[in-house]
Amino acid sequence: MLDSLKHFARESWLLVVASVLCGLLLAATNAALGPRIEVNKALKLTSLAGGLLPSAQAFVPLSSPVEVKGLDGKTESAVVFKATADDTVVGWVFKVVGSGFADKIELVVAADASFSKLVGYDVVSSSETPGFGDQIKDAYYRNQFTGAPVGQLSLVGLGAAKEQDIDSTIVAISGATISSTAVVQAMNHYLPQLKDQLQQKGLIGHGNNP
């Protein structure tokens, strides 16, 4: 019995040491790769932004923080860029996060200079189901958002859209209601807050003019 206890203690000690070493290794790896991952994300975001606002010559991050409430109710700092061409504001680019079917959906969204209409969006990262939810990346779905009013989107099933609501109505992806809802919900949740923050900072007007 004593030998068994000694063996168990020795094996347990080795397991504890191995667990600690693995934890330290993972922490060191995350510390080393974390900044690089964030840089790559920022580069991807601005690259996608260029596709949404091709007239922009530069994407300038705002110097002061833009605080918004996340979907979980917690305050977070939004990533917002001012898109400019010849020192003129041509639009706004920002990142929003939705709660998808498989995991979080990170989107880069562009609005016009007055922040009254959407220019479009693209997907920064997503783990949605191939062939279903990942169709949020496809042009036929994304194009519905172009020209839509900020913060006034509604999601309907195929064939339910009314002609007078075509600008604000988004037709859901067949078989992927959760993913479709995640995109629309993220837009409606974050965009009015961002617009309000930009107005408070004097970066856009309170009407339809920048």
Place 157 in a pLDDT band, splitting at 50, 70 and 90. confident
Provide the pLDDT for residue 50.
86
**If residue 92 lies in a helix (H) or strand (E), which one and from where to where?**
strand 88-99
Mean pLDDT of 79-86: 94
Domain that holds residue 93: 47-200
Question: Is 37 contained in some domain?
Answer: no
How many percent of the chain have pLDDT more than 90?
53
Question: Average per-residue pLDDT in the chain?
Answer: 82
Mean pLDDT of 25-38: 55
Sign of CA dihedral 94, 98, 101, 104: positive
Question: Is 40 contained in some domain?
Answer: no
Structure tokens at 55: 């007239």
Question: Is 58 contained in some domain?
Answer: yes
Question: Is 29 contained in some domain?
Answer: no
Mean pLDDT of 178-192: 95
Provide the pLDDT for residue 22.
55
Which residue has better confidence, 16 or 83? 83
How many percent of the chain have pLDDT more than 70?
73
Question: Is 54 contained in some domain?
Answer: yes
Tens-digit pLDDT profile for residues 44-61: 667 888 899 999 999 999
Beta bridge partners of 4: none
Question: Is 161 contained in some domain?
Answer: yes
Place 69 in a pLDDT band, splitting at 50, 70 and 90. very high
Which residue has better confidence, 104 or 26? 104
Q: Is the pLDDT of residue 17 over 90?
A: no
Number of domains in the chain: 1
Question: Is 31 contained in some domain?
Answer: no
> Which letter does DSSP use for residue 117 in this model?
B
DSSP helix/strand/coil, 80 = strand
Q: CA-CA-CA-CA torsion for 125, 131, 133, 139, nearest 10 degrees?
A: 70
Provide the pLDDT for residue 137.
94
Rounded Cα distance, 206 and 196, in Å: 9
Mean pLDDT of 156-171: 69
Closest CA to 78 of 150, 210, 186: 186
Rounded Cα distance, 178 and 162, in Å: 22
Q: Is the pLDDT of residue 33 over 50?
A: no
Cα 113 to its chain centre, rounded Å, is 20
Least confident of 17-21, 25-29, 206-210: 206-210
Provide the pLDDT for residue 210.
46
Question: Is 147 contained in some domain?
Answer: yes
